[in-house]
Amino acid sequence: MAARIVPAKRDPIRPAPANPIVISIDGDPVAGIEGQTIAGVVLASGRLAWRRTSVDGRPRGLFCGIGVCFDCIVTVNGERDVRACQRRAGDGDVVSSQHDELPEAAR
């Protein structure tokens, strides 16, 4: 019941063997394939949401998939607000999810 990468053996495009990478997501090591976006790696690991909204604390993950909506933003190697659907995952990347509380005055 989750997103998954198409198994190479069943893929009609007949992919060549892929280069494995490992990134860390909130401290957990997660395996991916070189060339995947961070969103691709995270989704294929079974995670559907990786951000909490500021007002209602609701879970969010991928929505538009093409860099328009900014729902999927994460912190990558200390750099905030990176669109996970646009940034390619690099071996060893340290990814953390974001939950930004509103300043008190805005509540």
Partner 1 sequence: MTAATPARGPGPVPTPAGAAAGARSVLVVGAGPAGLAAARAARERGASVVLLDASDATGGQYWRHLPDSRPSANERVLHHGWSTYRSLHEELERDPGCETVLGAQVWAIERADAPGTAAPVAVHVLVGPPDGSRRVGRTFRPDALVLAIGAHDRTLPFPGWDLPGVFTAGAAQAFAKGERVALGERVVVAGAGPFLLPVAASVAATGAKVLGVYEAGRVKGLVRGWLPKPWQLIGAAKKGGELAGYVGTHLRHRIPYVTGRAVIAAHGTDRVEAVTIASVDADWAPIPGTERRVETDSVCVSHGFTPRLELPIAAGCDLTADRFVRVDEGQQTSVPGVYAAGEITGIGGVDAALAEGEIAGHVASGGSARDTDLAEAIGARRTFTGFAARIEAAHGIRRGWTGWLEDDTIVCRCEEVPYGRLRETREATCGSGLRSMKLTTRAGLGICQGRVCGRTVEELLGGAASDPAASAPAASAPAASGPAASVTTDRRPIASPLRIGELAAGPDLTRSSTTSNVQKGHP
Which span (4-12, 23-31, 91-99) binds partner 1, by CB under 8 A? 4-12
Cα 54 from chain centroid (whole Å): 19
**What φ, ψ does residue 38 adopt, rounded to 5°?**
-60, -40
Which span (23-31, 57-65, 91-99) binds partner 1, by CB under 8 A? 57-65
**Contacting residue, 68, 91, 92, 99, with partner 1 by CB under 8 A:** 68
Contact call for residues 22 and 92 (beta carbons, < 8 A): yes
Quote the CA–CA distance of 28 and 6 in Å, as a whole number: 23
Q: By the criterion CB under 8 A, which residues form the site for partner 1?
A: 1-7, 10-16, 18-19, 33-37, 39-40, 43-44, 48-49, 53-56, 58-71, 73, 79, 81-83, 85-88
